[in-house]
Structure 1
Amino acid sequence: MVHGAPCGTVAESRAMNPRVVPRFLALLRSMLFLSCMLWACTPVRAGGAPWLDAAATRINAASWVSVLADPGGDLDLRQAVEAFAAGRFSAPSIATRRAALNFGYRDEAVWLYLEPRRAPDAPARWLLEIGFASLDQVEVFQADATGDWKGARSGDLLPFSARPLAHINHVFPLDFGAGDQLRVFVRVRSHGSLTLPVTLWSPAALHAEDQRRYAGEAVYFGMLSALALYNLLLWATLRERVFLYYVGFAAGMAVGFAGQNGLGAQFLWPAWPAWANISFPVGMASAGLFGALFTRAFLASSRSVPGLDGLLRLSVFVFLFAILAHWLIGYRAAAMLTSLAGLCFAPLAVVCGVRAWWAGHPGARYFLVAWILLLLGVAVMAMRNFGWVPTNWVTIYAMQIGSALEMLLLSFALADRINEMRREREEARQAALEAARVTEQALERRVAERTGELEAANARLRENEQALQQLAFHDALTGLPNRMVLDDRLRQAIARAARQRVRFAVLVVDLDGFKEVNDRGGHAVGDRVLRIAAERMRGLMRASDTLARIGGDEFVAVVEPVGDEADAVAVAAKLVDALDGPVNVDGDGYRIGGSIGVALFPMDGDSVETLVRAADRAMYRAKAAGRGAWRRAAVDGGQVPAH
């Protein structure tokens, strides 16, 4: 864990960039001024009907609608039509209809009435967009030429496939047919914020707008994914929890904004409406949870800002409760709790950042700028959710823009942290070198003493290693390669012969009369006879050949290369001659011989198993023929008479 810089570096840290705080305040003033200008410049109309002509491609219908609140949510279409005829619908207030309708958090349904008119040269089909993806229930009813009403439904409580048009927001086709006027009722109900950006689009204009939206979202989520993956790799390397908290923070942001913007419902969980309904507030609460954990870990708040650490701990539990509250106390209360918690936590993080920066904490300046930007976004989003500020592209995407800049700056802060860790490691290395110089003479003496011991130990280790290798790959009695080495040599020989298109031979040798040697002289004599037989055969092998003992009195020779069958059987005949003859052990004479089977690659087999099996069968035929003989695997060869 990287702690704050020592007290002696406070003045140096402050002097590093004395204009940081004034720049923060200038940025804050600019953002507030922009919001006020957007509020003041938003057009407001007193009523009437939107006019659609050939030149119109997009019309903000917020100022053209009439509104009826339905506190119980019990009105149906017939009753809404009657209420409109009775004059119960009214124009929304100026504060409500700035740029987009925003009723805040309300436990009621809202009915809208819209009566668009079109010019004769205008298209007959238009699209009505309710541009707030996290609405629960949206129903649109339009009267056709006969006066009958037809309806369509959307909302994040429905599977995505149930929407009238596949779109991240709630889009409904409006068909004028041959007429020039439509009567449209819209019913909306949601446990979250009742934000209703109502827009009339020509299909081509909405398609072009969608391209810009998707491009912007691709940039945002691409940047978020890259930063999260990079910090996940850093966590895997450094095992610092702060990087994992950053990944959790980014993941929470991604889930929340995917839910808010409708991308999750369209691409990630289209058949899971229950999750689509709560993904936005749960994602934001998760981002708050990991943001609080990140703040505590990054700033080492228990030491750098101990007076505020308790509030950061409380924030962790509040956000955790906000996540669980969606299943415990209901969506609306949990969503409001998440908004209020975010509105309180962001300034708390800024205050912690200011205190840490003032104390000279490395990376605190990036942390401070990052959280100020997010604070602006959170404040704007929360105020929009409650209906305190107008709904426009700034207030809708304020937190997303702020979070993108914040994630980037926090990544810079983590880079500062890595640099600080490197600096601390370098200081530790220098301290270690200094300590090494102080104790150099003592270490040299100890090294000299230990050198001899280590050299002796290394020599013993090398001897043991060689002995282990000998035991692992060679027969302990004869010193010949064992079955493991034989199989490997055979595979290599097959590969070489196939590549070079040459032949090699496999000879299976079984000693004749060895049982009588064991019965007469015992196992000790039998072991000496085996060693003598192995030496006789080894003397006939070339450097390129392999002779292995595979068990008991059975041996296998790999002779490579051989020109033809005559070369192979000539070797077999020499081995028979070498084995035939008396063997003297401690003055006692014993007589042994050898029966040999010969197989050739590739005629008798093209694998280790087929070659050895063919040679083994030929060896048994040689034994059956009277011993002291050799046999070919495919065709009988000659026989050397026993002596």
Structure 2
Amino acid sequence: MSSIDSHAEWPRVLQAPQEAWRITTSLLWLFVLFALPALGLQARTMEPAPLVVDGSESRINLKAHIRYLRDSENLDHDQALAQLEHFHSITERRDINFGYTRDTVWLALSLSSEALYGTDWVLELNYPSLDQIHFYSHGPSGLETQLAGDVPRYAERDFPHRTPIFKLRLEPGEQRLVLLRVRSEGSMTLDGSLWQAEAFRLQSNTSYVILAIYFGMLLALGGYNLLLFMVLRERSFLLYVLFVFSFAAGAMAINGLGPHYLWPNSGEPGNRVLPVSLTFASTIALLFAQAFLNTARWAPRWHQVLTIAATLAASITLLNLVVPVQTALQLMSMAGLLVSALLFACGLSCMLQRVPGAGIFVLAWLMLLIGASMLALRNFGLIPSNFVTVYAMQVGSALEMLLLSLGLAARFNELKRQKELAQSSALAAQKQVVKALQQQERVLEQRVAERTQALEAANARLAELAMQDPLTRLANRSALANHLHQALQRTQRHKELLALVLIDLNDFKAINDQLGHESGDQVLCQVAQRLKDCAREADLIARLGGDEFILVSEGIQDQEDALRLGERLEEALSLPIDIEHGQINVGASIGISLSDGHWPDAETLMRYADQAMYQRKRSGRSGIQLYADATLSNQSAAEKADVKAR
């Protein structure tokens, strides 16, 4: 059937004949549009054809395939089945939304499968906040029943989910008649979809992720501002936190997460969470507006109006605890709409008076007003129920709470700025009185700081010199002792090996005797530099005195690794050294001892390296020698080093 867009614009009335013809045509169409229902045509009572599925569909909107019956007599299943011919087609309505009603609503759906194989389907009613839905499926195997809704206990629901869902399987060529009996104290919104089982699983996971993000944002905003309240003790932050958490409880009830996770077995009392939490949120919102806009100072009349409104909202909150649930839900919708409009008007008035923060407050409440209005109008059945109207409150509330949080931060910064400005003005006079004294104190502090800095630099220099060999700038014995103690502890923790390499230059006394001590000092400095070049950044090189040097290397893998280190040092020291009198060659005897951090200790480790070095020196040639006890498990490595030295 063709449809006429109810939102089409009227053509402008012009003087030309063509425009007159357009107007006449439009009036004829309007006459046909309104005359057809009056003529009692049978189109609206025609029974929809069965919904035929072939297994290729992922989701089917059921509006065009469902018939309904409003039941004020509380029929049972057999009675409703007997009146199947009295069911009406949904196509005569804009949507499947009956607003607030005490009637039971029956839905009928005929299904036929042309699939080549058996397929699993999920029938979902898109509105989570429905009290009780009985599902009756007539097929070749007889009658099958299921139960869903947020009132039955969790264990009584056949397929627990945040929205009412029912599962069915269609075999090839199978025909089924499905009846749904729906009762709810809330808005009777019955838009439904038929999903392939796998498509529903994917869509369900996506919806849970979106809701998790939404409630995670509310939790983050509430928790962040709660911390700010605990630090700043500002009343508006506490009111904001109460508003966020009370609104979140209502949103969880609307989205079905509360009945599914938080109060799954509460039954009828669980229906009151939604009206009580949202009317309480309205009460807190009015108090928050007073604190945020400081209406007591900037808008006294509005302050009185908001006080009266908050008192009424609090009374409605208490009333919703005892009145029938449907009445409580209607009071909630009206209160939410009126409070949102009142707060928007108050914010607009304050914005015209240039009250700090009023602009962002108006924008925030405009978002919520739009969402609340769409939700309330949909609940009363005045506008269609679709994705936009169902989730308008969540979208509007998310934007509103983000803007209010930003507004709180901006307002706090403005109050802080004003407070600082007032304090600066109050302190200006005092600064003039004590200015001279402060100047003297600054001079004295500067002198003390300079003296302290000079003393610290001198002490640091003395400490550095105390731990440093003055000739080679390497670490001295004291620095070596400190480093070796810590290195052994690290080696023990890391379960590695530490190598202590003792290096003694051969025939160094002859250099001093023949070329002079100045040349000997040049040799020692160049040897120190070559050791630095061969060592890793984490290694420590120290001069024990005279021509003896020590290298401490952590992270040694095994004895082979230690020997390779000694070979690099020996190779570097075997190269000619340039001094003032020319080039000379200096050999070195190298002794190496190893420790795993437990044994040997520092003193014994030094003694073992010294013994290994003298063992090599007594052979009369340069080379590398591992201490014998350190090579018990790898004698071949020491023998290999000895062969290389020969």
Asked if Structure 1 and Structure 2 have the same fold, meaning a TM-score greater than 0.5 normalized by the shorter chain, the answer is yes
Aligned partner of 2:376 in structure 1 is 382
Q: Quick check: 1:172 aligned with 2:166?
A: yes
2 CA distance for matches of 1:176 and 1:165? 18
Q: Please report how far the alpha carbon of residue 128 of structure 1 lies from its aligned counterpart in structure 2 after TM superposition.
A: 0.8
Q: Could you tell me which of 179, 185, 190 is aligned with 1:191?
A: 185
Structure 1 counterpart of 2:103, one-letter code:
E
Distance 1:439 1:327, change over 3 A: same
Aligned: 1:83 with 2:78: no
State the Cα deviation string for residues 403-422 of structure 1 (Å, max 9, x = none): 00000000111011111121
State how far apart, in whole Å, the 2-side matches of 1:310 and 1:282 are: 24
- Which residue, 79, 90, 93 being the options, matches 1:92? 90
Q: Is the 8 A contact 2:45 2:88 kept in 1?
A: no
1:209-608 aligned at under 5 Å gives the runs 209-437=203-431, 440=434
- 1:117 paired with 2:115, answer no
User: How many Å apart are 1:356 and its aligned residue?
Assistant: 1.2
**Structure-2-length-normalised TM-score:** 0.59
Distance 2:238 2:162 in 1: 30
The DSSP-based 3-state class of the residue aligned with 1:80 is: helix
The 2-side partners of 1:123 and 1:132 are apart by 28
User: Is the contact between residue 349 and residue 371 of structure 1 (CA under 8 Å) also seen in structure 2?
Assistant: yes
Structure 2 vs 1, CA of residues 235 and 216 (structure 1 numbering), >3 Å: closer, same or farther?
same
Cα distance in 2, alignment partners of residues 443 and 293 from structure 1: 49
Q: Distance in 2 between matches of 1:104 and 1:78?
A: 26
In 1, Cα distance between the equivalents of 2:114 and 2:315? 54
Question: Could you give the per-residue CA deviations for residues 88-143 of structure 1, whole angstroms, max 9, x where no partner exists?
Answer: 1111364442xxx1000001111111112221336432111112111111111011
TM-score of the two chains, using structure 1 as the length reference: 0.59
Cα 1:425–1:187 shift into 2, 3 Å: same
Distance 1:443 1:314, change over 3 A: farther
Matching of residue 137 in structure 1 with residue 138 in structure 2: no
Classify the secondary structure of the residue corresponding to 1:116.
strand
* Alpha-carbon distance between aligned partners in 1 of 2:304 and 2:431, rounded to the nearest angstrom: 46
**1:441 positional shift:** 9.6
Q: Secondary structure at the match of 1:182?
A: strand
* Aligned partners of 1:363 and 1:413 also within 8 Å: yes
Paired residue secondary structure (2:384): coil
Partner AA of 1:361 in structure 2 = V
Partner of 2:158, secondary structure, is coil
* Equivalent residue in structure 2 for 1:106, among 101, 104, 108: 101
Q: CA deviation at 1:394?
A: 0.4
Contact 1:95–1:390 (Cα < 8 Å) also in 2: no
Q: Per the alignment, in what secondary structure is the counterpart of residue 64 of structure 2?
A: helix
Farther off after superposition, 161-170 or 365-374: 161-170
CA displacement 1:195-239 (0-9 Å, x = unmatched): 112111111011110121011111111111111011101111111
What letter corresponds to residue 56 of structure 1 in structure 2? E
Q: Determine which structure has greater relative contact order: mean sequence separation of CA pairs < 8 Å that are 6+ residues apart, divided by chain length.
A: 1
- CA positional deviation for 1:307: 2.7
| Paired position in structure 2 for 1:523 | none
Code of the aligned partner of 2:390: I
Q: Is the CA contact 1:378–1:398 (under 8 Å) kept in the aligned structure 2?
A: yes
User: Shift of the alpha carbon at 1:176?
Assistant: 2.6
Q: What amino acid is aligned across from residue 66 of structure 2 in structure 1?
A: V
The answer for unaligned runs of 5 or more in structure 2 is: 1-5, 9-43, 439-488, 490-646
| Letter of the structure 2 residue corresponding to residue 67 of structure 1 | Y
- Measured in 2, the distance between the counterparts of 1:303 and 1:45 equals 63
> What is the DSSP-based 3-state SS (H/G/I as helix, E as strand, rest coil) of the residue aligned with 1:327?
coil
Residue by residue over 1:32-70, the C-alpha shift from the partner in whole angstroms, topping out at 9 and shown as x without a partner, is xxx979xxxxxx997322221222110111221111111
Q: Is the 8 A contact 1:131 1:169 kept in 2?
A: yes
In 2: Cα distance, 1:388 partner to 1:434 partner: 63
AA of the residue aligned to 1:221: F
| Cα distance change on mapping 1:88 and 1:45 into 2, 3 Å | closer
**Aligned 8 A contact 1:281 1:335 in 2:** yes
Q: Deviations over 1:530-588 (max 9, x none)?
A: xxxxxxxxxxxxxxxxxxxxxxxxxxxxxxxxxxxxxxxxxxxxxxxxxxxxxxxxxxx
Q: Secondary structure at the match of 1:68?
A: strand
Q: Deviations over 1:591-632 (max 9, x none)?
A: xxxxxxxxxxxxxxxxxxxxxxxxxxxxxxxxxxxxxxxxxx
Partners in 1 of 2:115 and 2:326 — Cα distance?
45
Equivalent pair of 1:120/1:180 in contact (CA under 8 Å): no
- Secondary structure of the 2:140 match is coil
Give CA deviations for 1:171-203 in whole Å, capped at 9, x if unaligned. Answer: 011233455211011011111110112111111
Give the secondary-structure state (helix, strand or coil) at the position aligned to 1:110.
strand
Q: Give 1:159's aligned residue.
A: 153
**Structure 1: where are the runs of 5+ without partners?**
1-34, 38-43, 445-498, 500-643
Aligned to 1:69: 70
The alpha-carbon deviation at position 78 of structure 1 amounts to 0.6
Q: Could you tell me the percent identity over the aligned residues?
A: 37
Partner Cα separation in structure 1 for residue 309 and residue 190 of structure 2: 31
- Residue 69 to residue 299, structure 1, CA distance change in 2 (3 Å): same
Spell out, residue by residue over 1:335-360, the C-alpha distance to the aligned partner (whole angstroms, 9 max, x if none).
Answer: 10110111111111111111111111
Aligned-pair CA distance for 1:290: 1.3
Instruction: Tell me which residue corresponds to 1:557.
Output: none
Larger displacement relative to structure 2 (401-410 or 265-274):
265-274
Residues 1:122 and 1:386: Cα distance change in structure 2 (over 3 Å)? farther
RMSD of aligned residue pairs (Cα, Å):
2.6
Which SS does the other structure have where 2:214 is aligned?
helix
Counterpart residue number, 1:55: 56
Q: Cα–Cα, structure 1 residues 222 and 45, in superposed 2: closer, same or farther, change >3 Å?
A: farther
- Counterparts of 2:68 and 2:129, CA distance in 1: 20
